[in-house]
Structure 1
Amino acid sequence: MSSNVSRRNFLKSSVATGLVLASPLAMPGLSRASSRPQITHGLQSGDVDANSGMIWARSDRPAQMLVEVDTTGTFETPRRLAPINALPDSDFAVKRLLENLPSDQDVFYRVAFADLNDVNAVSEPMTGRFRTAPASRRNIRFAWSGDTAGQGWGIDTDRGGMKTYATMAKHQPDFFIHSGDTIYADGPMKETVDLKDGTVWKNIVTEEKSKVAETLDEYRGQWKYNLMDENLKAFNAEVPTFFQWDDHEVVNNWSSSKDLLSDDRYSEKNIHLLAARAGRAFHELAPIRYTPAEPGRVYRKIAYGPLLDVFFLDLRSYRGPNGASMEDTMTPASRILGAEQLSWLKRELLNSNATWKVIACDMPIGLIVWDNWKDQAGAEAVANGDHGAPKGRELEFADLLRFIKTADINNIVWLTADVHYTAAHYYNPDKAQFQDFKPFWEFVSGPIHAGTFGPNDLDMTFGPELKYIKAPTAEQGANLPPSMGLQFFGLVDIDGQSEQLTVRLMDRDDVELHTVTLDPVRKA
């Protein structure tokens, strides 16, 4: 680290000494602790590049967010930013982009809130940190996974809460990719769940988490529930998270055609309205950057120095209806990326000068995910299960893969989650029905803290070869609790000298399950 204060020692010392943030509006020495605002759910950072990063916090009342930024944890010469307001229309959540930062530098930020109704009332400050992306070659490490607080498995403090976050934090990644299903808005929780071993799982349950989310406040409550976990809050203070979303941020398997008429849990049946409320909560509660031309946009590129560009896809917002998706030609109904996102991805991949192009995809390419699991029918993801020439949603991916080959774009790695187990897939054109593409790797990891399922069957349209898998056995069954240990994440290391990329599949107990090291292809 470039700072003389380690990240953990800094965080501990900041809490212990009770650092006071200066405010042009307030005199903190006169404020009473009982009347001060509170920072309710810790701090978050995200979407960090070489010169900027987004930070986030939430107050318990109308307040001004006061921010200091420094490159050392002692805050001896901080840069004090102009206050910004936390108001009821955003549920008192506020985020701001820290700009004009030095590259490859540990950045420490300190946040407090000043009560808008009492300028003398200032909260206790909180501190966080992140490291900006490098401008030159250096070692890079990041983690990825998906699926938090799903299938009724919430925060059980007697079992250590969401322990996978603590395990990931030990590796001190530069950032974490959350590959979707960041919340389970359609997954109400019970206070207790009886386990097969005779013990009892005990959830913390909030009012919002006791039913499916329908109102904006209920969707917000799903996010705030996760942020009650001490492991996650500690992780967020040290590691930036780059978020994408999938279906459970709204409702299971949602598309524009989702029909809730027969689902008695929902009094609001309009999927468009539910998705709008969920999208607003997502952007309010996650430290994702806004895209001015499309404020709700999730797909984006984050440049992380000369060795790495990360491309975040959104397979949810622009898809046609879930179902058979077996058209032979491209139609609006067969889309899953959408024409504009597909054009953007091609353009950005073509223009990328980074050694490695990591595509963070919220759903796997070759794994069969059914819309109707009972009848094994309808495509929910990309693969349609017929093992033949591309049809339906496979057409966009065939088009993309052909483009990558024709443009001679190398060093692309796909990362995903969604299916609640971990696996490594090598897509081999020699084994595929559609063969006009360069071979590539896809790595699957998750859940972080949810029920464990799988394994899923592979569709052979693009020739995936299963190189590794860790999933429940038939004897173990489905929806295994986190206490069973089958919670997974992945680690990616890029060596600054050799430029090799190494992927490690890990479990919650920090056991290394499988490793693949890839050499970069260099153009002549």
Structure 2
Amino acid sequence: MTVPYSVSRRGVMLALGAGGVALGSRRPALADPVFAEYPFQLGIAAGDPAPDGFMIWTRLAPRPLEIGHGMPSAPVPVKWEVATDRSFSNVARSGETIARPELGHAVHVEVGGLEPGREYFYRFTAGAERTPSGRAKTAPAPGSSVARARFGVLGCQAYEHGFYTAHRKAASEDLDFAYFYGDYIYEGRGSRTYTGSGGTMENPRQHVGGEAYSLDDYRRRYALYKLDTDLQASHAATAWFVTWDDHEVTNNWVGAIDDGVPPEVFLLRRQAAAQAFYEHMPLRRSAFPRGSDIQLYRHASWGNLLDLNLLDTRQHRTKQPCGDSWNATCDGVSDPRAQVLGEAQEAWLYRNLERSEAHWKVLAQQIMVMDLDRKEGPEPGYNLDTWAGYRIPRQRMLNRLRDRRIGNTVVLTGDEHQNYAGELYVDGRNPEGAPVAAEFVTTSVSSSGDGQDQRADGRRYLAENLFLKFNNAQRGYVVCDVTPERWQTEFKVLDKVSEKGGTLSTRAKFAVANGDARVVPA
């Protein structure tokens, strides 16, 4: 019988005897692996670009969907290189790391010592096998003058609902970086059909296995998604800033709450989900999970042009009011004890915003901040899984922006499976004076299927919410083109994702001028 991987007995015994721990020169030599099948089937990725470097990631998995992923329970050496050219004739940094069985043989390398504001290429080698090269840019030097940044926003990629054409198209955009707002995987069991606002449709492809609960379940789900070559191309094209939303764990979860499940049991599921998320994302060591907790809110900058506040609106939030009903309201919406970010993250955000000297302050997060009234008639109804279900923390944040005169704030959001552009007021039902900030909501890569240009409820939202300027219900992604004078958001949509080969077009462009939060057609 052919085995997928082999090392010498001595190499395995030395590795196990050392407990798999690498401590400089004291680490025992590990034998080079020999793989019966290609070990880099899940691709490569870069993330969290900084002025002096970025993260690079891969995972050894010769048989990605099997328990054990075709690897032995032993550490394996992996070499890495970062070069200034695609041919790797000028290698800037290189080294060796260890793919550990405790982390599913995932590899995270924090590359430093690079020059700011320039393009690099990276790759990995294990034994005789090598990855294709990936591309990433370092951030400009802190405070340096930056004339322009061009980056993408993507998220919500339910594997079953459609193909990843949006990722293939985004890979050719020549972006400085990408922001992925969440729902990288969906946790549900495989299903032949999907029922949504457009009725019941046949899924073009299916999940393998049942709903994800254990670490092995989540690992296989990530492996299934990462086997997609369009997604791999998107990762290889530019470095990503990654956050999560709900489906990386389970639908609409918050904190330690999952209805019908004891909190201590749900935290076990969260722990498995957090580890699998870390294992498969290009995240820095600061995000290493501690039990069920994972540190995902963080700050990044792009010279003097952008301050990026990457938020986590799931882990520190209190339970949705009104039983998490749809298109509803109740007294719980005004609960003064409610939290979206949690006290520590909220205080951290305010400090960042008030200290920022960047032209644009960005809140890169998951759930809509616009208090969109979705109910027909005089009585309001909200999506209570958005900031609209948490009136007090929402008002607190927007009042802070207004009262401290923190201008040029742009909120980037996902989760809705639709495109939206609009203006933020403390009370959207009474939009008095100038808007406090602008918000752009990016549609899904594939979730909810092909979609349509505009749904009936979308037309009603535009008519009844004066702060809303644009709505569209197709799949795609967003490209933000930013200068000190102007922020432009381009909504790129696909005619279909139910089949491969969808046609991409620009559906709309909206802009925000320096010093003016109004959202206008570009």
Q: What TM-score comes out, normalization by structure 2 length?
A: 0.76
In structure 2, the residue matched to 1:346 is 350
Shift of 1:519: 1.9
Shift of 1:49: 2.0
2:468 to 451, 466, 469: 466
In structure 2, the residue matched to 1:323 is 321
Shift of 1:106: 0.7
In structure 1, the residue matched to 2:257 is 257
Question: Between Structure 1 and Structure 2, how many residues are aligned?
Answer: 441
Give secondary structure in 2 for the equivalent of 1:396: helix
What is the one-letter code of the residue matched to 2:472? K
Query: Contact 2:52/2:139 (CA < 8 Å) preserved in 1?
Result: yes
In structure 2, the residue matched to 1:389 is none
Matched ranges for 1:84-95 at <5 A? 84-95=97-108
Distance between the aligned counterparts of 2:179 and 2:168, measured in 1? 15
Query: Contact 1:421/1:488 (CA < 8 Å) preserved in 2?
Result: no
Query: Contact 1:194/1:201 (CA < 8 Å) preserved in 2?
Result: no
What is the one-letter code of the residue matched to 2:482? I
Distance between the aligned counterparts of 2:367 and 2:308, measured in 1? 16
2:133 to 106, 113, 127: 127
Matched ranges for 1:31-70 at <5 A? 35=36, 38-60=39-61, 61=71, 62-70=75-83
Query: Contact 2:398/2:426 (CA < 8 Å) preserved in 1?
Result: no
In structure 1, the residue matched to 2:87 is 74
2:486 to 496, 500, 516: 500
Deviations 1:374-425 (A, max 9, x none): xx898222213xxxxxxxx221121111111222211101111111111111
Shift of 1:437: 8.0
Query: Contact 2:193/2:200 (CA < 8 Å) preserved in 1?
Result: no
Decide whether aligned partners of structure 1 residues 149 and 268 sit closer, same or farther in structure 2, where only a CA change above 3 A counts.
Answer: farther
Decide whether aligned partners of structure 1 residues 364 and 270 sit closer, same or farther in structure 2, where only a CA change above 3 A counts.
Answer: same
In structure 1, the residue matched to 2:369 is 365
Structure 2 stretches of 5 or more lacking a match?
Answer: 1-27, 62-70, 323-330, 375-380, 495-502, 517-522
Does structure 1 residue 383 correspond to structure 2 residue 388?
A: yes
Give secondary structure in 1 for the equivalent of 2:49: coil
Give secondary structure in 2 for the equivalent of 1:183: coil
Decide whether aligned partners of structure 1 residues 238 and 349 sit closer, same or farther in structure 2, where only a CA change above 3 A counts.
Answer: same
Distance between the aligned counterparts of 1:259 and 1:41, measured in 2? 34
Shift of 1:86: 0.6
In structure 1, the residue matched to 2:505 is 511
Decide whether aligned partners of structure 1 residues 442 and 87 sit closer, same or farther in structure 2, where only a CA change above 3 A counts.
Answer: same
Distance between the aligned counterparts of 1:194 and 1:425, measured in 2? 28
What is the one-letter code of the residue matched to 1:394? R
In structure 1, the residue matched to 2:205 is 203
Distance between the aligned counterparts of 1:401 and 1:347, measured in 2? 14
In structure 2, the residue matched to 1:100 is 113
The percentage of counterpart residues that share the same residue type is 25
Distance between the aligned counterparts of 1:303 and 1:153, measured in 2? 34
Decide whether aligned partners of structure 1 residues 293 and 490 sit closer, same or farther in structure 2, where only a CA change above 3 A counts.
Answer: closer
Distance between the aligned counterparts of 1:197 and 1:464, measured in 2? 29
Shift of 1:200: 6.2
Query: Contact 2:306/2:360 (CA < 8 Å) preserved in 1?
Result: yes
What is the one-letter code of the residue matched to 1:360? A
In structure 2, the residue matched to 1:7 is none
Decide whether aligned partners of structure 1 residues 377 and 198 sit closer, same or farther in structure 2, where only a CA change above 3 A counts.
Answer: closer
What is the one-letter code of the residue matched to 2:368? P
Shift of 1:220: 1.6
Distance between the aligned counterparts of 2:348 and 2:104, measured in 1? 33
Shift of 1:80: 4.7
In structure 2, the residue matched to 1:442 is 439
Q: What TM-score comes out, normalization by structure 1 length?
A: 0.76
Give secondary structure in 2 for the equivalent of 1:489: strand
Does structure 1 residue 276 correspond to structure 2 residue 271?
A: yes
Structure 1 stretches of 5 or more lacking a match?
Answer: 1-23, 114-120, 155-160, 262-266, 371-375, 385-392, 472-485
Query: Contact 1:153/1:189 (CA < 8 Å) preserved in 2?
Result: no
Distance between the aligned counterparts of 1:192 and 1:381, measured in 2? 27
Query: Contact 1:422/1:469 (CA < 8 Å) preserved in 2?
Result: yes
Give secondary structure in 1 for the equivalent of 2:277: helix
Deviations 1:97-117 (A, max 9, x none): 11121011111112112xxxx
Query: Contact 2:136/2:238 (CA < 8 Å) preserved in 1?
Result: yes
Decide whether aligned partners of structure 1 residues 193 and 443 sit closer, same or farther in structure 2, where only a CA change above 3 A counts.
Answer: closer
In structure 1, the residue matched to 2:165 is 163
Give secondary structure in 2 for the equivalent of 1:137: coil
Query: Contact 1:369/1:381 (CA < 8 Å) preserved in 2?
Result: no
In structure 2, the residue matched to 1:138 is 147
Query: Contact 2:425/2:431 (CA < 8 Å) preserved in 1?
Result: no
Shifted more, 282-291 versus 452-461: the winner is: 452-461
What is the one-letter code of the residue matched to 2:227? M
In structure 1, the residue matched to 2:11 is none
Does structure 1 residue 153 correspond to structure 2 residue 161?
A: yes
1:487 to 461, 475, 483: 475
Decide whether aligned partners of structure 1 residues 330 and 198 sit closer, same or farther in structure 2, where only a CA change above 3 A counts.
Answer: closer
1:178 to 177, 180, 189: 180
Decide whether aligned partners of structure 1 residues 293 and 245 sit closer, same or farther in structure 2, where only a CA change above 3 A counts.
Answer: closer
Shift of 1:194: 12
Give secondary structure in 2 for the equivalent of 1:487: strand
Distance between the aligned counterparts of 1:25 and 1:440, measured in 2? 56
Distance between the aligned counterparts of 1:184 and 1:292, measured in 2? 21
Does structure 1 residue 356 correspond to structure 2 residue 357?
A: no
What is the one-letter code of the residue matched to 2:174? Q
Alignment root-mean-square deviation, CA: 3.4
